Amino acid sequence: MPTTEKRLHFIFLTVLADCGAVIASVFFAYYVRFVTGWISSENIPSFLPYVQALMVILPVYLYFFREYGLYSTYRHIRRIEEIFLVSKAVTFSVVILMAVTFFYRGFSYSRIYLVTLWVISGIILTFSRYLMIQWEYRRKIKKRDIKRILLLGSNRNTRQIIQWAKNNPHYGREIVGVLAKDPGLVGKHVEGVPILGISDQCESFIDHLKPNEVILLDTSFTRERITDLVAACEDKFIEFKIGADFYGLLSRNVDVDYISTVPLLGFRPLPLDDIWNRFAKRCFDLLAVSILLLLSFPLWLFVIVLIKLDDGGPIFYSQERMGRDEKVFNLLKFRTMRVDAEKDSGPVWANVKDARRTRIGNFLRRWNLDELPQFLNVLKGEMSLIGPRPERPHFISQFREAIPRYMSRHKVKAGITGWAQVNGYRGNTSIQERIKYDLFYMENWSLLFDIEILLMTLTSRGFKNAY
């Protein structure tokens, strides 16, 4: 069975599972609301109108599940994101159903029943979805539903795709081979995947290997050559994709606009360009920081005492950093270096064996305790809990010239921690790779994503590469 047909088959089974979960929720919600006696009720209404309401309830639920992309043919979202989307779809479904009951006069449906349905259907659908996800992952890990991919080009993007496929077998991507531009690379391997031949001979390898998808990562292909390759893949019902990530910086935030009949490629607005999303993020920051300040207060006292006992110098250290819209602010930290550490050297990048540090400074940096005062920057609105790490203007003037799209990270508030940091890109690590993670975060922001990064920061993942 072709891969697309397998995906459609799985989606059909998912729809059936969702329908079964909704029907079970309607029955169970009626039982909890009217039969158990847990919620007081003067009389028990007939069950028939609630069964008949399924003719409206089912389409509404399925509509919102579809609108939230939960029946997409190919999804790369994480499990926690899918569960969050299920919760949103269920919530909107019940809101619409409540609105319908205000206008429908044929029967008076219990509002408490609808609230009960919201809770129960959320639980049952989440559990059902989780089981379907686990079943799908197990099938792919056992290679029962695999998409075979041929990569054209041998470069950094090739290595990243292969690493991703190996590290995420539950997504069902198998790299069957690589074709390189340089004939001298034939017979060698990229991350364990063989380089089978040269990319100029890709049509013959496509005929021989019969992959489900071809990904072009070789930037030397001409427009005419790409057009021929697209036509060849379409003729064989093979999916074709081209890497737009020539600088390792372009993510999926691309949109097509039209002037007259001319298609124009550009970037979509960021989620945090929306005023309501900014408001929600600010509320989350204030709530989370207030809680963290209360919980960390004993740590503040502990660190203050350690710094004073160490050399008796100032407790805090203030340093200029650049935030959203290129606004410069003073970032606060607990002091970890000697007083006037950069008086003679000027701005210098921190490193593992930094001689400028105090004795207690190594300990504070190892456990990120020097970052605690930045909670105050968040309260003042200069920073967010989650976002790209702010950099010093001295270094920004260098990076903006050398790294494409570097300044794009200043479209959102800087953060105490971010997606790049929890993935190990902090300190003296690749700036190019760090920017890729920052841009991915900006283009895929959600409150759930912020919560996930915060939880990763509070675990050992958050201390990776700390010094």
Q: Are residues 93 and 201 in the same domain?
A: no
Q: What is the pLDDT of residue 178?
A: 95
Residues 352-373 have a mean pLDDT of: 80
- Domain assignment of residue 186, yes or no: yes
Domain shared by 130 and 229, yes or no: no
Q: Are residues 211 and 339 in the same domain?
A: no
β partners of residue 180: 198
In a domain, 229, yes or no: yes
Q: What is the pTM of this model?
A: 0.64
- Classify residue 254: in a domain, yes or no: no
Q: Give the CATH number for residue 235.
A: 3.40.50.720
Domain boundary among 141, 171, 191: 141
Confirm whether 263 is domain-assigned. Answer: no
Residue 264 lies in a domain: no
Two structure tokens written together for 316: 């805090």
**Confidence check: pLDDT of 466 > 90:** no
Helix (H) or strand (E) holding 317: strand 316-322
Within a domain: 452: yes
Kindly state the average pLDDT of the residues 155-171: 88
Kindly state the percentage of the chain with pLDDT values over 70.
86
Residue 21 has pLDDT above 90, yes or no: yes
Residue 16 belongs to what domain range?
3-141
| CB within 8 Å of 253: residues ≥ 6 apart | 267, 268, 270, 439, 443
Q: Does any domain span residue 53?
A: yes
Q: Is residue 43 part of a domain?
A: yes
Confidence of residue 249 (pLDDT cuts 50, 70, 90): very low
Q: For residue 416, which of 297, 332, 316, 290 has the smallest C-alpha distance? A: 332
210: tokens are 């019969």
User: 199 and 84, same structural domain?
Assistant: no
Separation of first and last alpha carbons in the chain: 52
Say if residue 440 is in the same domain as residue 338. yes
Domain-terminating residue out of 141, 172, 196: 141
Residues 277 and 426 placed together within one structural domain of the fold? yes
Domain boundary among 90, 110, 141: 141
Q: Are residues 129 and 160 in the same domain?
A: no
DSSP 8-state class, residue 33:
I
Same domain, 203 and 284: no
Average of per-residue pLDDT across 179-204 = 92
In 10 A of CB 126, how many CB atoms?
17
Residues 279 and 330 in one domain: yes
pLDDT tens per residue, range 49-99: 888 999 999 999 999 998 888 887 665 667 777 888 899 899 999 999 988
Q: Are residues 334 and 445 in the same domain?
A: yes
Which positions ≥6 away from 6 have C-beta within 8 Å?
A: 145
Top pLDDT among 351 and 318 is at 318
Q: How many domains does the chain have?
A: 3
| 131 lies in the same domain as 160 | no
87/53 same-domain check? yes
d(CA 40, CA 92): 26
Question: Does 193 score more than 70 pLDDT?
Answer: yes
